[in-house]
Structures are given as structure tokens and as C-alpha cells.
Structure 1
Amino acid sequence: MIPFRKMHGLGNDFVVLDARAGALPVTPARAAAIADRHFGIGCDQFIVMEPPPAGADVFMRIRNPDGSEAGACGNATRCIAALVAEERGADRVVVRTIAGDLPVERLPGGLWRADMGPARLRWDDVPLAYKADTLHLPLAFGPVSDPAACSMGNPHATFFVDDLDAIPVTEIGPRLEHDPIFPDRANIGFAQVLAPDRMRLVIWERGAGLTLACGSGACAAIVNAARRGLTGRRATVTMPGGDLVMEWRESDGHVLMTGPVATAFTGTLDLGAYGS
């Protein structure tokens, strides 16, 4: 039996396994089976902590509920950083993913701030299937059109809408995620700007579907909103699970994300019970 933790950031939830002491036989199929909310434990992303490479305190491997590998997850980054920081009695941790290093620091009030790195704005960084203006993609479906796109280690497109409650996210999200303009699929955000320092956001996550919160989606939303002059470079992003404070730092283009972490419960599991 293998210990696991069920953690979440604003309801964006994760099953976390610790493989730092030795490799675990976690396959994409097993990750997907454990992530299943009916027959497994259930989660938005399946996280494995691996031995820290040079220059980092831990390596975080991320799998979506369909078993595919993701390069970034902001809420999971804060959760894993909090675990490692508590182990070490530290206030700063560097989490490495396949997309790069993410420094995270403890703040007062149980909050953690993650430096999610620079937003990548070139069409081939997102990536898109062909050269296009990432500030105004030639994409429309149903009631939405004209998104902005960027990469936060994973591809994002943000649609800005007048009334978020009127958008049938579960109907159009899957179609937009798989649009041919996104060769690797994309996370699809729907944002309603409320003020220069506040917006509402709902995310249809690539490989996960509708989630209560998405850290990298909030990163993309503040970057894309600021690029269009709809907000400043700092804003509170309200998602169904709660608020993240976001800042697109002008000095270096890095995106800073501040929010809470929580452990829901711990337990053990038998990987062999979840296929091969």
C-alpha cells in the first residue's frame, strides 16, 4: 500500500504521491483510473513528487485525469511547495516541472505566492497550428469569439465576455479545447472583467474539463486582459472555488500567483488495483 494525500487549491484538487524515495509504477492508465471520480479517488490532476534535480527542491510531475502529462498547474505548485516547505522548515521552495522552475514563498495568513515564470506570447510558443496574432485569435464558436492566447507552460486561450453566467461552458468548452488551431489542445478561459483590478473566470481545462479553479488559467487571464488594456497588471481573479491575487510583473514579464492551499485527507492505495 502506498500513502497518498488529497490536496486542493480553491477546490482544484489533486491526488499526491511521493516517489522521492524510489520510483513508483505510475502509468498514464493508472493515473487516469485513480483520477476517476466514480471508480478511483478522484481529482483534477494527479501529482507525483520526484527526487529534486540540481537547483530545485522537488520535481513535480503532473498528469491530467485522462492520463496525459501537463507542464504546469499553479494550484498544485503551491500545494507541493507547502508540503516541502513544512518538511524543511523553510519559507521558500523551488518546484521544478517539465516546463521549468517555479519559486514559491510563504506569506502571512496561510497564503503562498508562486512565480509561474514568464508568459510566452509568440504563436509558436502557445503553440498554434499556424502563424496568428495571439492577441486576437481568428476563433469563434457559439456566443464567443476573438480570444487572446499565451502559454504558461501549457497552452491557454482567454475569451472575454460581458456576462459569464450566460456562457454554456460545458457545451462549448470541449469543442474549443480541441479546435484545430491548437495542435496540443488548449485550456479555455472565459473571463468577465468587473473592474481594472478584478475579474471573474471560469476555465475548461485541457484533459480535465470544468474545474473550480485553475492557477495557470488565472495567469493567462491577467496577462491577456492586461495586454488588451482591460485591467491593470495586478488583479484579483474570482473563480468558482475562490480568489487568486495575480500580478504580471512589468520588470521581467513573470506572472505571480497568490493563494491558499489545503489538505483534504490522507490515505493509502494499492496501485495494482488500478490496472497496469
Structure 2
Amino acid sequence: MDIAFTKMQGLGNDFVVINTISQPISLTSTQIKYIADRRLGIGCDQVLLITPPPSSQVDFGYRIFNQDGGEVEQCGNGARCFAHFIHHHDLSNKNILRVATKGGVIQLRREENECVTVDMGIPRFDPKQIPFKVNAEALFYPLTVANQSIKIGAVSMGNPHCVLQVPDITTAPVGAWGLELESHPLFPQRVNVGFIEKISSHEINLRVYERGVGETPACGTGACAAVAVGRKQGWLDESVSVHLLGGSLHIIWQGENSPLLMTGPSKVVFEGSITLNISN
């Protein structure tokens, strides 16, 4: 079968976006991995599916699959590309969209210059909601990685994140520590790992090792998680510029019981179709 797709990117985090409303299809994990394969398929960090709204309370459904074929709860950069796709293909004329994800409902607002603001909801610090197998919620959690004692913060932005501060982002052991922490037994659903270098109370550098993918040029939920933890621990302000390898995002979080807002760009790279066989 031939499937139409749009290749998109948000700060270098790239996606294959497929409209399953106009072309009703069900993709297997093997087919997802084939599409995401950079040698054999199209190539991307994640495959995003536009689906019919699961209820009258939302405009669309939004499903996210990693390179390894596993479905995940949330993707911030993908959400901005999702909103861009909807307007690019004239699927809605609303400036504000409500979208259902596996991690909950998010709100997307179209801005100028191909930017989108995503209302990511209220950060969840309760370990049971992350999920994180510790006895009680804390600002800092001690862990051991590569035989070294470290302290992390943990939060769910609809998907699980742990974050830690490092003195220099360029020399941080993102690959080695990210791989080990991603599959740490205290995170039963695995975890995304953020490495933060603080520049000031309103500016940070960030690198993220994404579960099921590895390090990517940018991670929207990772940027949100970094600011949420930094605010919670008391060393970041309400409005923060987050500099990632692929570019910058602007994050605003007023604090407890307030939704976190992320603003950043998204772009269409190219459009095409791919032929999938049952064996793919």
C-alpha cells in the first residue's frame, strides 16, 4: 500500500507525519520502524499520526511512535509540527486546537513566523504519575550512574523525565549516562534524560537523551521538564530561554497548579509517499 506523508522538523528533531483520517490505516511496530529507518525507509526521530478525535471535547487525536516502534505519551516538538501540519493541509481554520494524546489533552496555539505555543498542562511531580519507583516525592533524588553518585530531579510532562545539572554541556556524558539512566530500574517505563547547564536564572543550555531514540537535536518535553524541575528546585525564573543543539525554545511556567507553555518553530521539509508491504 502507498501512504502519503509529510516530513517535518522542529529545531532539527524530525518527524514523519501521516494523516490517518484521509487515509485510514493501521501501522504495525515493524512498519513504524521501517518508516523511521534512515537507510531503508524515510528516516525520522518519530512517526506522528493524525487520528480522528476520540471525543467531542477535542479536535484531533495525536499518536507518537519512536524509532523503535514503541508508542509514547507525548512529544513537544512533534506537537508543534502537528499544529503546523493541520494548518498547512487546511484541516482546520482554528488558531487554537485541542488535541488528545496518550499522555492527556494538550492545547496548540498558532503564532506568527511558523511558531506554535503548546499548552503542555501542569507538570506532574508525584512519583506514581511519572512513574518513578521511590517512596516519596522530593526535590532531589540520589542515584548511581557509571559508579558515580548524582542527584536528579524527576517530572512527567505527559511522559517521564529525569534531569540533572552539569557544569559544561559540551563535555557532559550524554551518551553513556543517558543510555544507563534511560533504562534505570526505578523508571519502569524508561525515562528521557536531560543534562542542564545553567547560564542564568532565565537561560539554560540543554541536551536530551530520548528513550527509544538516543540523543536528538532538540526535545520539547525535555525543555519543559528542565524548566519545571529548575523552577521547583528554586534556581530558575518563570520565563526561560532553553538552548538546545538544534535551536531555542521559550518556556513559561508560573509554578504550582499552572499550565506550562512552550513556544518554538516548526517547518515542512518535504512531502511524498512510501510503499509498505505486509512484511515491512
* TMscore range, shorter length: over 0.9
Which SS does the other structure have where 2:129 is aligned? coil
For residue 244 of structure 1, give the secondary structure of its aligned residue in structure 2.
strand
Counterpart-to-counterpart distance in 1, 2:140 and 2:34: 38
Q: TM-score, normalised by structure 1?
A: 0.95
**AA at the equivalent of 1:84:** I
Looking at structure 1, the residues matched to 243 and 208 of structure 2 have their Cα atoms a distance apart, in angstroms, of 11
Runs (4 or more) in structure 1 with deviation over 4 Å come to: none
* Contact 2:97 2:107 (C-alpha < 8 Å) held by counterparts: yes
2:74 corresponds in structure 1 to: 72
> Is the CA contact 1:115–1:256 (under 8 Å) kept in the aligned structure 2?
yes
Greater Cα offset, 217-226 or 87-96: 87-96
Identify the residue that residue 122 of structure 2 maps to in structure 1.
118
Mean alpha-carbon deviation: is it higher for 250-259 or for 159-168? 250-259
Deviation at 1:123, TM superposition (A): 1.0
Q: Is residue 36–residue 45 contact of structure 2 (8 Å, CA) maintained in 1?
A: yes
Matched, 1:60 2:84: no
Is 1:97 the counterpart of 2:97 in the alignment?
no
Q: CA separation of 1:168/1:144 partners in 2, compared to 1, >3 Å: closer, same or farther?
A: farther
Q: What is residue 182 of structure 2 aligned with on the other side?
A: 177
Q: Distance in 2 between matches of 1:144 and 1:237?
A: 26
Residue 187 of structure 1 is matched in structure 2 by: 192
**Contact 2:232–2:255 at 8 Å: present in 1 too?**
no
2: CA distance, partners of 1:242 / 1:155: 23
Note the alpha carbon deviations across 1:193-251, whole angstroms, 9 max, x for none: 10111000000001111100000001100000111111112100000000000011337
Change (3 A) 1:49 1:134: farther
Partner of residue 252, structure 1: 257
Q: CA deviation at 1:130?
A: 3.0
2: distance between equivalents of 1:90 and 1:220? Answer: 28
Conservation of the 8 A alpha-carbon contact between 2:16 and 2:46: yes
CA distance in 2, matches of 1:157, 1:198: 19
RMSD over aligned CA atoms reads 1.5
* Partner of residue 145 from structure 1, selected from 145, 150, 153: 150
Deviations 1:248-271 (A, max 9, x none): 133732110000110111110112
Give % identity. Answer: 37
- Matches of 1:274 and 1:157 in 2, distance apart? 37
Give 5+ residue unaligned stretches, structure 2.
Answer: none
How high is the TM-score relative to the length of structure 2?
0.94
Aligned residue type for 1:156: H
Size of the alignment, in residue pairs? 275
